[in-house]
Amino acid sequence: MRHVLYIILILLTVVAVGIGIAGRQGRLSRKPPIEVFPDMDRQLKLRPAQPNDFFPNGLSSQLPPRGTVARSEPLQTVTGPVYAFEDAPVNTGRVTGTTNFVETNPLPVTGQLLQRGRERFNIYCAPCHGALGDGNGINKKLGVMSAVANLQDKRIVEMADGEIFNTITFGKGLMGAHGPLVPVADRWAVVAYLRALQLSQLGSVDDLLPDQQAAFKK
């Protein structure tokens, strides 16, 4: 029994001394570390815009072949075309260079945009917020979600378009993020349609033209 203990002690001492001599000593080494799994650290590939003999023009980067289809089109905003990678209100909902939300929709509000917005709203928002946006969607009736925001509230009517865009993108409280589901242009279409919904509930007879008012009162 005793010598087993001695063997363990000797082993521990050897390990401790070994680590003490060969272990990390705080010196930097220029030699590459031992690689057990190289993890594709080194690859046979061309770095962009470097000299290279393979192609006739002597460069690693080549122009796309003729007829290549672009992966993304810019969105046509009221201030001109904007690509998805740009730091612009249409992509962020905020005034560029600030954290302020943009007041108005950066996309031109056309009948087509409203149509699209109505379709998307009815798919993505109405189940919770209701077809009128008043918070009485089917999920409330089914008891899935009881306290859903009423989008006809004064607070949300007065909210900047950019903040609603931001809520759709990232969600809020119990509401999940819809950015991954609803592309940027569709989010603005939903914002435009929501404005139309709010107008439909907040309008009064006085907004109508006189002859329309007369017809309405009949």
8 A C-beta contact, residue 194 and residue 116: no
DSSP 218: -
Q: Check residue 38 and report its DSSP letter.
A: -
Amino acid at 108: P
> Residue 145, interface with ligand HEC (CB under 6 A)?
yes
In sign, the C-alpha dihedral spanning 140, 145, 146, 148 is: negative
Of the candidates 151, 184, 189, 197, which one interacts with ligand HEC according to CB under 6 A?
151
Output 18 or 176, the one with its CB closest to ligand HEC.
176
> Which is closer to ligand HEC, CB of 74 or CB of 127?
127
The structure tokens listed for 172 are 């809020």
CA distance 217 to 203: 15
- Contact call for residue 154 and ligand HEC (CB under 6 A): no
Residue 100 burial (CB count, 10 A): 14
Question: How many residues lie near ligand HEC (CB under 6 A)?
Answer: 22
Per CB under 6 A, 179 contacts ligand HEC:
no
What is the closest distance, in whole angstroms, from the C-beta atom of residue 198 to ligand HEC in the complex?
11
Interface stretch with ligand HEC, choices 1-9, 29-37, 82-90, 170-178 (CB under 6 A): 170-178
Per-position x/- string for 77-116, each x denoting binding to ligand HEC as judged by CB under 6 A, each - no binding: ----------------------------------------
Q: Does 192 bind ligand HEC (CB under 6 A)?
A: no
What 8-state DSSP symbol labels residue 152? T
Q: Do 45 and 61 meet the contact criterion of CB atoms below 8 Å apart?
A: no
For ligand HEC, the binding residues (CB under 6 A) are 124-125, 127-129, 139, 145, 148-149, 151, 156, 164, 167-168, 172-175, 178, 182, 190, 194
